[in-house]
Amino acid sequence: MPRTSAYDADAFRVAYDKVLAKWPADRQALTVATPFGDTRVNVCGPREAPPLLLLPGGGAATSASWYAQAADLARVRRVYAPDLIGAPGLSTPATDRHPRTVADLASWLDALLDGLGVTSADVGGHSYGAWIALHHALRTPARVRRLFLLDPTLCFAGYKAAYLLHALPMLLRPAPRRVRAFLEWETGGASLDPEWLFLQEAAAGFPSAKPVTGPRPAPDALRALEVPVLLLVAANSRTHDPTTVTSRAAATLPHVETVVLPGVSHHALPQAASPGLARHLTDFLSGG
């Protein structure tokens, strides 16, 4: 896909590395071959610990955005955080094959886990990454031991119209100033990590593939899911209605625990969440 004039690959890599430097000192970078391309995975935590797969949100989130939780999670899990294929990050899409369906995304994750030598794992995701994680659990529940969904999009409720209208200028003509304006609106002017914000701006115009989209999971499929689920919802999210998300999840998921995270919006997650988020995650993963 051709690059746009708004995108500077060198600036993006500098910004990515600055955010990644916030990860624990034992972080390693792996590259795993899959049928859809080479996936970059950031890894930390004891090798003998149970595996945890962390999926970032769409857009410029990248795996680096998990830095605020990586150290805490690595105390109880071996953390594997991939950059999504075809999205901003250091993964390299195949030239002849791109994920086009939910089944393709599930195949990519299966190949990724196989390449990591992981039979089953705890899985978590934010936003679009939570949507991918939930679909993967529905399709291959034997590979998912526990599942956490961090303010998931299009899993239980649609986008607010105001959110789509504010995002439209950034999507139609990506530019750093438009990215900043959108994030300032959605987060209510919250103080954001300047290095993380620079990464979001530097990704404007990244030659991304068209993301896989689709309908929300069917209620009957959700009711059949036996995997324990932790749903964490941003109280100040402008992406969707938090009450609708929690009520629909409670009505369809048989083994769900719900936590509303106060004082935080959708795009402030996961990097600007309070320390309480890591506590909720580690308690859940430890069976507490």
pLDDT in tens, the chain (288 residues): 344 446 899 999 999 999 999 999 999 999 999 999 999 999 999 999 999 999 999 988 999 999 999 999 999 999 999 999 999 999 999 999 999 999 999 999 999 999 999 999 999 999 999 999 999 999 999 999 999 999 999 999 999 999 999 999 999 999 999 999 999 999 999 999 999 999 999 999 999 888 999 889 999 999 999 999 999 999 999 999 999 999 999 999 999 999 999 999 999 999 987 778 999 999 999 985
Q: Are 94 and 119 in contact (CB under 8 A)?
A: no
Distance separating alpha carbons of residues 37 and 60, to the nearest angstrom: 19
Greatest alpha-carbon pair distance for the chain in Å reads 49
Q: The whole model's pTM is what? A: 0.96
- The SS3 assignment for 64 reads helix
